[in-house]
Amino acid sequence: MIPSKWLFVPELPLNANGKIDRNALGTIAMQAAELSNEHQTTRILSSLETKLQDIFVRAFRLKSLPNVENTFGQLGGTSLGAMHVLSLIRREVYEKMDIGLLFANPSVRELATVLESVLSNVEPDQEKQEEHVDFSIRPQSSWCIETIGIFVLTWQWLWPILLAAKLDFIFLEVLFIPLMHLLQYPMFMKLLGGPFRQGQDTLYSWRYYCLWFLRRQWSLNTYWLGHLLGTPFYNIYLRLCGACIGNRTHIYSSQIDAPWLLEIGDDTYIGVEVILSSLTYHDRTYALHEIRIGSHCSIGARCVLHDRVDMRDHVLSEPLTAVTGRILGMHEGESSLCALSRDQSLFQLVAILAMASIHAFIIKLSWSAAYWLPLCLSLPICWFIWSVLGASVGLLILRFIVGHIQDNFSYSLNSWQFLCQFWLRHLITSSFAPCLSTAFDEFNSFTPFILRWLGASIEPNDIEIAHFVPLLTVPPNLLVIEHGVTIASDVCFIPYDVTTNGQCIVAGQIQVGRQSFLGNNCVIRSGVRLSADVVVGCLTRVDLMTSNAKEGK
């Protein structure tokens, strides 16, 4: 244990037995605190100093009011307490408080002096408006604008499909529908007056509904965007939508609020299902913020970046981490370039077109088997046939084309080994996810046997799996599941880790012991070995350190 505060005395008090008198030590500490309080200045504190003094007491858990001249280091504060102070100041005093300002002015008096000059620059009209806010008056949504928006969203989604249905050339249909859906987003963004600058505005205003429409249009395109993830074509599309994307960047997430407020440096990796949130809601307003990510960064799966993220170079963010504010690089090392060659980009393009062509062929085959029936019967039958055929084709590709992965896998993101093993697997699971989910989700009894057929080491006795697709993202020879295991919804399996220099490393097999339970939305990293009878809670990350600690290693 490291002491948070030091007190020097001439000699230690002893009791009658010659041992240290602990009660006397407590008395000396109290006398020292009282002496420190007597030396405090008698000047009346300002309201801001009193507020900051109260924040220091709460953040550092002090038993008495601190001397306004002492720094938080002298008060026994820690870096965690300083972050708590920063959070409280942003919430109660100044929303744009910077951590550098806090460390440069660590005492209450110094910090109050600096903040008074900063707060004095606030416009008087804005202060008066905030003082006379009537919280009983709340903005109301417009059902008329929302209804029109829903009709426009439906129209912009259906017209390419209806037009393509009249075309006889199958290759043109494959390209026309997704291309029109994707290009309509930047077109509507320009028509609605975008790209919108960062700042604050009222809820249910015209600018708010423009963002509302664009966010829902983006969500409708997530299936098409899933085919582009991890490719240079996705970077080009983000630049078309206003984002500033560096060279050789690998992005595997489409959960973006406002792409025009996104800035990413060179040679950065962003994992699957990372949330890049530029939108923050308040009581009656909302705010847009920029997200800046430096070069040579690695952001793990399901991280959440929100509220003015300013990430510097060489930052490694572990999966399932909330990131906000300014993040300094702590993992500097040798930098390597992760650019894809022309042959590799061509390989990705051919694979994407092949997936689209397979889907188009399956849809035509399904419709030809049920078109002669009434529409109320032909549509569900066509959907059923498409789901079964799509799931079968996807599983066959995963087994006979993608296959297993070699042991001790350690290659860069621009290597052929990574493209053929992980990127292609991600493309197939994303493309056939609707078919596979329809056929095998909701604790299907066939799921364990299918995983075993693919090559996973699994005991098919009493195994319950809610969502089947996440298990397919792991190469089958890296997956070991014993009997009696229950896997809940949206469990994320991460088969590899990516360093800040773009190296993809597989730490080993993912093993789930017998009678274990994996909760909703938990994250299981590469190389994890869960022992028997382990319960993993919801939204919990399990890595090598966690599993080793549970085993007592």
Residue 524, token pair as written in the block: 């299981």
- Residue-level pLDDT at 459: 84
- Residue-level pLDDT at 40: 46
Strands across the sheet containing 410-412 = 410-412, 503-505, 497-498
- Residue-level pLDDT at 480: 94
Residue 406 is which amino acid?
Answer: Q
C-alpha distances (whole Å) from 268 to each of 294, 413, 417 are: 8, 10, 19
CB count in 10 Å sphere of residue 42? 4
Are 75 and 56 in contact, with CB atoms under 8 Å apart?
A: yes
Q: Which residues of the chain have pLDDT under 70?
A: 1-10, 16-18, 25-43, 121-137, 168-173, 330-337, 546-553
Residue 126, token pair as written in the block: 């804005």
- Residue-level pLDDT at 69: 82
Helical segments of 71-142, H only: 79-92, 99-104, 108-119, 124-131
Are 331 and 349 in contact, with CB atoms under 8 Å apart?
A: no
Are 264 and 248 in contact, with CB atoms under 8 Å apart?
A: no
- Residue-level pLDDT at 1: 44
In a 13 Å sphere around the CA of 375, the CA atoms on its Cβ side amount to 0
Cis status of the peptide bond prior to 124, with omega within 30 of 0: no
- Residue-level pLDDT at 195: 86
How distant is the alpha carbon of residue 438 from its chain centre? 26
- Residue-level pLDDT at 26: 63
Rg of the Cα trace of the chain?
29
Provide φ and ψ at 258, rounded to 5°. -135, 95
- Residue-level pLDDT at 394: 95
In the chain the domains, ranked by start, together with CATH numbers, are 22-37+45-114 (1.10.1200.10), 169-327 (no CATH), 342-542 (no CATH)
> Hey, what's the torsion of the CAs at 251, 354, 223, 416, to 10 degrees?
-20
CA pair distance 91, 329, nearest whole angstrom: 26
Are 301 and 494 in contact, with CB atoms under 8 Å apart?
A: yes
Q: pTM of the full predicted structure?
A: 0.76
How distant is the alpha carbon of residue 527 from its chain centre? 22
- Residue-level pLDDT at 551: 54
Report strand pairing: 517-518 vs 486-487. parallel
